[in-house]
Chains A and B, each alone.
Chain A
């Protein structure tokens, strides 16, 4: 098999498996956080079946029809179909694990001290992450402007953009965790949770920018297998990062909302 075909196949498989991967990671995160056995998610079976079907269809299309618009259409349909079912799966996970996340105590307590991001994460760390992203993205733009003609640019640009999106997404997540609901007594865990989010943010920024730089100017015809491996590794980290962000609403205890 030509190395370019390997690269195309790996990208297609990663695309159609992404919804299932995201749903599986979200289920694991929600179950671990709730400290409860994994709930029986009815739609998960359907998602697995659709993913298997999409893998077979995408592989066949990539090997027989690629490169063509048909391949893009079949992979797109596989991803879209799986994504629709994955959304249902996420909704079901939310419903099934909510009782474990809700505290129904009548007596409630809260601190009167405002929680500010700077207390949980030094500003210098956050600036370092943002600086790494900006410097990496700037270097990418400079390198991209002098790239050899005929090189594939879509994936490097996608990964460079993903680094900036992850930076923003995880900053918002950390901010929401800090200022969001906390059941009295859980405040001690907050610093650990916020720092874990920051570590993941930094890992995603570095991994996505690293992948973008590694794929930029890569000769796919000669180094397709290497390119596919880099793309899969970077893509895997990005999928895990997206899944954790998606699962962020499925963790953490809070009081049942009362009154209006």
Chain B
């Protein structure tokens, strides 16, 4: 299942790509599995098909999907993004997220628990 919020200030394309990335990382969409067609996903989410097509294309560029003309999108057999992230970039993203949480009224404890829960959803993919 993929969830988006059209009131979220982030572009819909970013939300869809982010949710798909999560689904692949968590393993809820397995390697080599078909994804819904652009038309199906766009219709179900009530967004323009071009938004979904751009999200798919972005993940294909990152090396997570293969998009075949007329056959839809398929996750790679060994989905691993070639967009490398250094520790500094990761820390920066964490800071942004924590800042959003603090400004949104969450306590340090809530934020720490949210991180732990999120991390627990992913297997250790180091190596």
Q: Taking chain B's interface residues, is the majority helix, strand, or loop, or is none over half, making it mixed?
A: mixed
Q: Which residue, of B3, B5, B45, has the highest number of chain A Cβ atoms within 10 A?
A: B45
Given contacts A107-B3, A107-B5, A179-B39, contact A114 B34 (CB under 8 A): yes
Distance between A222 CB and nearest chain B CB, rounded to angstroms: 55
How many contacts A-B (CB < 8 Å)? 84
Inter-chain contact B50/A110, CB cutoff 8 Å: no
Inter-chain contact A112/B3, CB cutoff 8 Å: no
Inter-chain contact B1/A257, CB cutoff 8 Å: no
Inter-chain contact B43/A112, CB cutoff 8 Å: no
Inter-chain contact B3/A182, CB cutoff 8 Å: no
A257 contact set on B, CB distance < 8 A: 46-48
**Cα–Cα, bound, A109→B39 (Å):** 15
Inter-chain contact A254/B1, CB cutoff 8 Å: no
B7 within 8 A of A: yes
Inter-chain contact A259/B12, CB cutoff 8 Å: yes
B60 contact set on A, CB distance < 8 A: none
Residues 1-16 of B contacting A (Cβ, < 8 Å): 1-7, 11-13
**Cα–Cα, bound, A255→B11 (Å):** 17
Inter-chain contact A260/B48, CB cutoff 8 Å: yes
Across the interface, A110 reaches (CB within 8 A) one of B1, B5, B51, namely B1
Given contacts A259-B51, A260-B51, contact A114 B35 (CB under 8 A): yes
**Cα–Cα, bound, A113→B44 (Å):** 12
